[in-house]
Structure 1
Amino acid sequence: MERPRYFEDYVLGEERRSHGRTITETDFVVHAGHTGDFFPHHMDAEHMKASPFGQRIAHGTMTFAIGIGLTASEINPLAFTYGYDRLRFPRPVFIGDTIHTVLTVSALEPDPRRPDKGRVVESCRVVNQRGETVLACDHVLLAERRPAA
């Protein structure tokens, strides 16, 4: 476990990177089974040969789940996820792509409803092996403020 970090311990511009993860056909099948999303974009190779992509594309929700899951390397008992904002999928993910996630602290804000907490905003970019951003969003954490001395 990492050392506990209060809101005041986060630094604007600090960055962390995940390890890589190669996307497989099994990922597509398991995600479709979990979600019920069997759209041909994800499951029908013949159908997608005639598409502009030329092959099946990953579910956006799968890319999000795996990309964000890769960041679960820091355990901070003083902070928890409040949500995700501005989620976008600027490029597709294909079977065989290897993705990793880059997190950058982009804002440190007071929480208007909770004076004992602050909001840490991490800009998330999921990047493929070609350096292309395939997912972008903001991860908002609520972190405890350091108690008064």
Structure 2
Amino acid sequence: MAGKWFDELKVGETFDHPIRRTLTETDNVLFSAMTHNPALLHLDEEYCRTETEFGQRIVNSAFTLGLMVGISIGDTTLGTAVANLGWDEVRFPKPLFHGDTVHVTSEVIELRDSKSRPDQGIVTFLHRAYNQHGDLVAHCRRSGLQRKRPQSV
């Protein structure tokens, strides 16, 4: 189990996740197609070249969000999560493009015991994603229900 138990986490603890991911055209087009998102910003190179400020297709922000959280799982909640409770304050201050490489950090910003489940707690992370230039491209708060370390019998 790679993830941490709820009672192992500390407010202010930061994870600099070692997994990095270079985004491909296939990632973007396949994700957009699978989610039925026909936005020209993700699929039409000519439109983006001539009609947008970006000059090229941008990566689907829902993919960026999923990737950012997914990269964090191995170090934080793998094997210890009960449920994802929600994403708040999701922001994309800069776009990602095909060929960009993403890296992610996560910070524990809140911990509280579950009122209804004494063997679990609620953790809130602040996830941040950066491109290869160090530009912040996405961030969100994510709350999850996390198992506490099992008590010895």
TM-score by length of 1: 0.86
Alignment size in residue pairs? 148
User: What letter is aligned with 2:46?
Assistant: E
Mapped pair 1:88 → 2:91: yes
Counterpart position of 1:130: 133
SS at match of 1:70: helix
Q: Note closer, same or farther for the CA distance 1:5–1:41 as it changes in structure 2 (3 Å cut).
A: closer
2:9 aligned partner? 10
TM-fit CA distance, 1:145: 4.2
Q: Which residue does the alignment assign to 1:67?
A: 68
Q: Residue 103 of structure 1 aligns to which amino acid in structure 2? A: S
Counterparts in 2 of 1:148 and 1:32: CA distance versus 1, 3 Å: closer
Residue among 139, 142, 146 paired with 1:139: 142
Give 1:26 deviation, angstroms: 0.8
Matching residue within 71, 74, 81 for 1:79: 81
Q: Within 5 Å, give how 1:101-140 maps onto structure 2.
A: 101-140=104-143
Counterpart CA distance in 2 for 1:24 and 1:146 is 39
Gaps of 5+ in 1: none
Structure 1 stretch displaced more, 136-145 or 109-118? 109-118
Partner SS state of residue 124, structure 1:
strand
**Gaps in structure 2 of 5+ consecutive residues:** none
Give the corresponding residue for 1:56: 57
Measured after TM superposition, the shift of residue 90 of structure 1 is 1.2
